[in-house]
Structure 1
Amino acid sequence: MGTHVIKMPDIGEGIAEVELSVWHVKVGDMVVEDQVLADVMTDKAMVDIPSPVHGKVIALGGQPGEVMAVGSVLISIEVEGAGNVKESAQPAPVKEAPVAAPKVETVVESKPVAAPRPAAVCQGPLVAREADERPLASPAVRKHALDLGIQLRLVRGSGPAGRVLHEDLEAYLAQGQANASAPVAAAYAQRTDEQQIPVIGMRRKIAQRMQDATQRAAHFSYVEEIDVTAVEELRAHLNEKHGATRGKLTLLPFLVRALVVALRDFPQINARYDDEAQVITRLGAVHVGIATQADIGLMVPVVRHAEARSLWDSAAEISRLATAARNGKASRDELSGSSITLTSLGALGGIVSTPVLNLPEVAIVGVNKIVERPMVIKGQIVIRKMMNLSSSFDHRVVDGMDAAQFIQALRGLLEQPATLFVD
């Protein structure tokens, strides 16, 4: 038997150190070639580290949240044969991570291993999670739980790192009414427990970027109400006519198109500000960041050259990038280089929001939910679909008048959607 030591790889782009985000194995585990061992966090992207060998884990080189230098020992695996460490040499001292890693809101699916995953087993209907604790689950599972009226925090997950699966929801429902009173009783019981959650991985990066943005940029927000009845009618018509062959359109591709057209007259808003060099770079290309909520936190994949894309091309790219981001598979290139960001919470969009700038950009456009309201048009009360745009700007670069005119331009384009396609 020998020892194979895996060192922290050079991920590229001059990165000298990365943060160890989560282990997918523990000491004593048997691993196979290409099995994901750990996730590490660079400036923006999560990267999985696969095993190049079969063997048994004998030592881990760090704990989640620890910043490790490229080339440092990540993990040691006992293998058949000589391995890559001489028998006479002592393995480098490494720290053994605890079997139960601190809670980290991230899941990157491993490649299949030799042993099949056991069937999901519900270990009781009630799981002791804090009310604000976000259990690990895919967007599809979260929607399924919402449709079933299940509080996800009460369901025990049988997937990797306690991830809740569809099978767990079914097992939870199969419990019947036997323990129906348990959640009610728990709701009225006094609690004295506390939980400390390390701020690591993507959550740490988000915290740093948001704090940096609010400290460095002079934020101001502007909110405008938009009648989206016409553009929604156009969207429904296009989906009915071309949805089966070209794919369904959401409102986002229309918003991207509106940004492209409006920015022709407001180049100072499609810009990046390097406040250290005191240089503003105005871009001809429109690279739209699409704020996307993933299990590991908020990510902003980029639709590049939106000015050269059709509605369906934009829709397909938005869908592709969102899926990659939610699965933790978006690359560094896909998560960087935006010139303006579009953020939307969909049906949860609320009435007004104050989005935080995605530095070094100077503008972010926030989309609120669409609601039907009575409006007075030409003296008549009619029902219209209304939506607010809640947008923020960097006042160091964008004047208030320019921001207001830009949003009014977006409003005009969306309320008269034929103008989106007039050059």
Structure 2
Amino acid sequence: MIEFKLPDVGEGMHEGEIIQWLIKEGDAVTQDQPIVEVQTDKVNAELTAPITGVVKKILFSAGDTVEVGTTIFTIQEENEMALPEAVSDEGDNSLEEPGDGIGTDRMSKRQFEAGRVLATPFVRQLAREMKVDIQQVSGTGPAGRIIESDLKRFVETNSVLQEHHNHGNDTLLRKRDPIKDANQAKNEVAEPEERILLKGIRKKIAEHMVKSVSTIPHVTHVDELEMDALKDLKDQLKAHSEDKEIKLTFLPFFVKAIVIALKEFRTLNASIDEKTKEIILKHYYHIGIATNTNEGLIVPVIKHADQKTIFQLADEIRQLATDAREGKLSLEQITGSTFTISNVGPIGGIHATPIINYPEAAILALHKMEPRMVVRDLEGVIRLMMNMSLSFDHRLIDGVTAVQFTNRIKELLENPIRLVVEMR
């Protein structure tokens, strides 16, 4: 009985996935008959029967991941019962790659006596793909084992194959690709890598982003706004906010301006029910604030933002951000948003294409503020400028509506007295 152990079919792999079995237990098979298809991160390979015999036991199912060196099936030789007892007692007859010494002599002797050259299943697969009779190839590996370079040399020097090549048969060129791929895979394995399991919050973020992009047709509109007047207003309110022990930033003003604009452009505060094919227009304003944490991007939500003052918003934004970074947010605090703001300005950048927080209809990214030369009344002047990028669902929102929406936000923030008057 021979135990067939999963070999390194990818030149440096550690495990492989069983794709499909090409036989079943009890089947009689011939030497080199394909038995099982295995997939690694480098190659797909068909592993073949090492000898003519009967498959006795299949130890793994399709879909299982198996480590290299693990027995995946057993096979009984056709003439096993006729072998002398001395042969059957030689020890482990598994098809592990033989090393130097007595083990190599026993393995090679037995295989050559059966008329079979010594080669790994991976090399045998390459030979089949290249239309090479592996029995005709001379091996230069240990104990005469055939290795990849032997196949390559055979292809290059064999007159029959070379003649096909000279007559423009590009099939040969394609058949030689597996060797090139195997060598490239060998080089890749040598490079330092680190693998981290995609799990937890990062996995959920990945799934959410894929769903958003695959479901929503994204379009991004970019505009700029002048921040000087708003900065002056914020500076004037600084002393009052400090008395309340509140750190006042620009973000609460954006929240109020966005809420006013959302009430006028209702499709930006909407979503689509995929099952019923209905547009849901929402008359509540829950604003998500994208927050960077060590675990990834979290979006805590300010509920009923339209009903809160600038100072209340500032205090809640600060508290939510702190809780997000400390992992203290409840499910209620990170669900139910109707529109999201992504404030990347503090870390820089002038433009982006933010991904919509599914199932919302839009997201607004705020970028860094910086002094820029602009033209006012046909004269060049320096102003404190900021870009904003609005990604929107083109199923619900037309480009004209998106531009009108950002224009409205600009109008309110560039003239903050109007913002104060219109807040309610």
TM-score (structure 1 length as normaliser): 0.54
2:200 is equivalent to residue 201 of structure 1:
yes
Within 1, Cα distance between the matches of 2:353 and 2:306?
26
CA distance in 2, matches of 1:369, 1:411: 16
1:156-215 deviations in Å (ceiling 9; x for gaps): xxxxxxxxxxxxxxxxxxxxxxxxxxxxxxxxxxx9421111101111101101011000
Report the Cα distance in structure 2 between the residues aligned to 1:347 and 1:272, rounded to whole angstroms.
30
Displacement after TM superposition at 1:243 (Å): 2.2
1:334 aligns with 333
Give the percent of matched residue pairs that are identical in Structure 1 and Structure 2: 40
Q: C-alpha separation between the residues in 1 aligned to 2:247 and 2:329?
A: 23
Q: Distance in 1 between matches of 2:229 and 2:275?
A: 44
Give 1:35's aligned residue: none
Counterpart mapping for 1:161-310 below 5 A: 192-310=191-309
Give the structure 2 partner of residue 376 of structure 1: 375
Task: Tell me whether 219-228 or 246-255 shows the greater mean CA deviation.
Answer: 246-255
3-state DSSP class of the match of 1:292?
strand
Structure 1 residue 232 displacement after superposition: 1.1
| Structure 2 gaps, min length 5 | 1-189
RMSD: 1.3
CA distance in 2, matches of 1:200, 1:341: 24
Larger radius of gyration: 2
Aligned to 2:108: none
In structure 2, what is the Cα distance between the partners aligned to 1:232 and 1:361?
Answer: 30
Query: How big is each residue's C-alpha offset from its partner over 1:209-264, in whole Å with a ceiling of 9 and x where there is no partner?
Result: 10110000010000001101110111111113432335121110000010111112
Higher helix share: 2
- Kept after mapping to 1: 8 A contact 2:241/2:248: no
Distance in structure 1 (CA, Å) of the matches to 2:321 and 2:386: 23
- Say whether the 8 Å CA contact 2:412–2:419 is kept in structure 1: yes
Which of 191-200 and 413-422 deviates more?
191-200
| Deviation at residue 281 of structure 1 after TM alignment | 1.3
Give the conservation status (yes or no) of the 8 Å contact 1:246–1:312.
Answer: no
User: Using the alignment, how far apart are the partners of 1:246 and 1:196 within structure 2?
Assistant: 45
Q: Is the 8 A contact 1:220 1:393 kept in 2?
A: yes
The secondary structure found in structure 2 opposite 1:290 is strand
2:342 paired residue number: 343
Q: Counterparts in 2 of 1:34-113, with a 5 A limit?
A: none
Aligned-pair distance for 1:370?
0.3
Number of aligned residues: 233
1:122-141 correspondence to structure 2 within 5 Å? none
**What's the counterpart of residue 353 of structure 1?**
352
C-alpha separation between the residues in 2 aligned to 1:277 and 1:329? 35
Deviations 1:73-98 (A, max 9, x none): xxxxxxxxxxxxxxxxxxxxxxxxxx
Q: The residue matched to 1:330 in structure 2 has which SS?
A: coil
Amino acid at match of 2:270: A
User: What is the CA–CA distance in structure 2 between the aligned matches of 1:296 and 1:241, rounded to whole Å?
Assistant: 35
Distance 1:403 1:276 in 2: 26
Could you tell me which residue of structure 2 aligns to residue 84 of structure 1?
Answer: none
CA distance in 1, matches of 2:404, 2:274: 25
Give the whole-Å Cα distance in 1 for the aligned partners of 2:203 and 2:321. 21
C-alpha spacing 1:390/1:199, structure 2 compared with 1 (3 Å): same
What do the CA deviations read for 1:43-95 (whole angstroms, capped 9, x no partner)?
A: xxxxxxxxxxxxxxxxxxxxxxxxxxxxxxxxxxxxxxxxxxxxxxxxxxxxx
Q: CA deviation at 1:297?
A: 0.7
Structure 1, unaligned runs of 5 or more: 1-190
TM-score of the pair, normalised by structure 2: 0.54
Q: Which residue is equivalent to 1:394?
A: 393
Distance apart, 1:310 and its partner CA: 0.4
**What is the rounded CA distance, in whole Å, between the counterparts of 2:284 and 2:371 in structure 1?**
35
